[in-house]
Structure 1
């Protein structure tokens, strides 16, 4: 069985991806113009054609155009990206290499990232990582093994020794850790497990780098929770259930590190049919709009937020202009929505109303074979 089939044994066969295009002005020119900023692209190497792994792009903050430029060798299957608190180091998962690993890259020159080192995650299929707000630890979710891993970070930003590895358990299906983040208060580590249908919270000991379990929220069996995103208020979060095509509103109690589940809504309009697997969830900076990508329908679901984030309402489903939208993100100015469409091998750009949060039609598209994730220079 191929790595893709192992990673997503319950999903449909994957389609074809596009071909990388490298266009635009030189890196030196990009550094000289303040409106030209670096962006970073992660892609899979098992697609047809294969992705480059990790690439640098130029983002024109005036026009919004995204232009892929060059690959960085030795960083395969970069499926998730996260920055150090000071923005000087970028970390990426290497998801489908044997046993899984993470790579640290120096961003002293943002347009020419320099690999610092690579470390094993002591597990297979690392899908997600984040940096603790102290900048001292890297947290990684190993999907295939259902584990959460902690590495101490070196002074230069490189990945140091492993300090803890926590094994999730599940009575019905194998655990599949899919996301690990730190809550807005900085007090708790949150891990979402798709196979275990659970969201765990942990306390991280900042001396030893070990995780101590605090609470577990269980969702309906078979929902397959994938990712969550917090509301800017820090009082609510939105949990995307990949296998149920739903999103659940969670109340977050930062004092105790406990989630309480609220209403669950479909990520698709009424009457939608066919296979669909939502992937990414994003909340805008004012906390007025929530976005969820739908793989299958190939749309971004737009939810209006009200009552300070306590309520969601589906208001629109906007075509992404590509196939199998794995990841989406807003640019730093929040004027556009960018979507990584894995099967069509594209990163598409949609117009966005910065007042209402509404998404408009497709503006343009950049070819990125095996597109998995996009992050903008801090």
Structure 2
């Protein structure tokens, strides 16, 4: 059954441009796509103007083209996604004043809603699933809290097991994730200019370290690569390279580099950061410049390589596809998802003409 049939909705209204050819897709993905394409989930703000649709489902073919397949009804203000370890369940933030998170069953390739639960705070912007699969962690931007919920065997969201509020005059927790060792929970707080490390045992969060950054930094998201983390700051458009000691549970700040091209001017707010699977390239989105910046990792430091226009306005989020031959950008103000082709050897990005229409788009993720 198609995604539209499974969802029981009318044909999707999103539009797509023609796709350029792509090479180098992994064989396993080629077989999957030959039958149905790679299921892709696109989140958007339903309360914004123009109103988004919540959760779109599209299929990505072997050439990188996104084709609309349906809309999952009943998911408001879908601003971020997180997968269960087995990729059979998807979790979504509902970024509203009375925040909530929603569970979706994707195990049969016919997505269906399971349940929703209060996020424990205001305006959740990020969530992640513990590697054990037993807990869901949520960052509530509006009130600077981080919550843990139990995850039930059927994929549904269970009871809240912990809720911590970050210190400071105006904390705004923007991200929460588990470190590579699986022992620590790390939360990035834009309002507190801090990264918090929490011990996590039996579903309980306990603050362990507060790494304070210079006032006005506005840290937003980070990504781990072994004992290094790369921290992107929204307010001053920088990336800070952090050393990570998993035994002690401590972060140490090192190199600081601009997320922008050297010649960039004017107002800019950095948004998303990602690292290639081989750990050799780091990417960051710039809202204002409307670019994806590419950095090479050389001798433990970041070296700026290029800033590639996204082909849209206000790149809030982006994601590499499973083969890492394309990078898809959610341009919130343009209401488009655009595709940049990626050279796996050099990390370089190149614009394409591919564009999928989604009003007030917020995030994108792949079922791969």
Quick check: TM above 0.5? yes
- Whether 1:178 aligns to 2:174 is yes
- Structure 1 length normalisation: TM-score? 0.88
CA change 1:35–1:263 in 2 (3 A) is same
Q: Aligned to 1:165, which of 163, 166, 174?
A: 163
Matches within 5 A, 1:327-346: 327-346=317-336
- Whether 1:190 aligns to 2:186 is yes
1:327-367 alpha-carbon deviations (Å, 9 max, x no partner): 01110000011000000000000111011101112241111
- Alignment-derived partner of residue 53 in structure 2: 52
Q: How much does 1:106 deviate? A: 0.5
- Alignment-derived partner of residue 16 in structure 1: none
2: distance between equivalents of 1:276 and 1:264? Answer: 17
- Alignment-derived partner of residue 21 in structure 1: 14
- State the 4+ residue runs in structure 1 displaced beyond 4 angstroms: none
- Whether 1:288 aligns to 2:288 is no
1:198-218 alpha-carbon deviations (Å, 9 max, x no partner): 001111113xx1112211111
Query: How many residue pairs are counted as aligned between the two chains?
Result: 344
- Alignment-derived partner of residue 211 in structure 1: 205
Q: Aligned to 1:137, which of 135, 141, 154?
A: 135
Where structure 2 has 5 or more consecutive residues not aligned to the other structure, the ranges are 1-11, 18-30
- Alignment-derived partner of residue 25 in structure 2: none
Q: Aligned to 1:275, which of 250, 267, 270?
A: 267
Q: Aligned to 2:358, which of 339, 364, 368?
A: 368
Kept in 2, the 8 Å contact 1:351–1:363? The answer is no
2: distance between equivalents of 1:122 and 1:174? Answer: 17
- Structure 2 length normalisation: TM-score? 0.90
For the residue of structure 2 that corresponds to 1:80, the secondary structure is strand
1: distance between equivalents of 2:361 and 2:254? Answer: 33
2: distance between equivalents of 1:32 and 1:124? Answer: 39
CA change 1:71–1:255 in 2 (3 A) is same
Q: How much does 1:20 deviate? A: 4.4
CA change 1:300–1:23 in 2 (3 A) is closer
Kept in 1, the 8 Å contact 2:16–2:66? The answer is no
CA change 1:148–1:108 in 2 (3 A) is same
Where structure 1 has 5 or more consecutive residues not aligned to the other structure, the ranges are 1-18, 25-29
- Alignment-derived partner of residue 105 in structure 1: 104
For the residue of structure 1 that corresponds to 2:78, the secondary structure is coil
- Alignment-derived partner of residue 6 in structure 1: none
2: distance between equivalents of 1:22 and 1:117? Answer: 30
CA change 1:32–1:358 in 2 (3 A) is closer
The two structures, once aligned, show a CA RMSD in angstroms of: 1.7
CA change 1:332–1:221 in 2 (3 A) is same
For the residue of structure 1 that corresponds to 2:235, the secondary structure is coil
Kept in 2, the 8 Å contact 1:51–1:368? The answer is yes
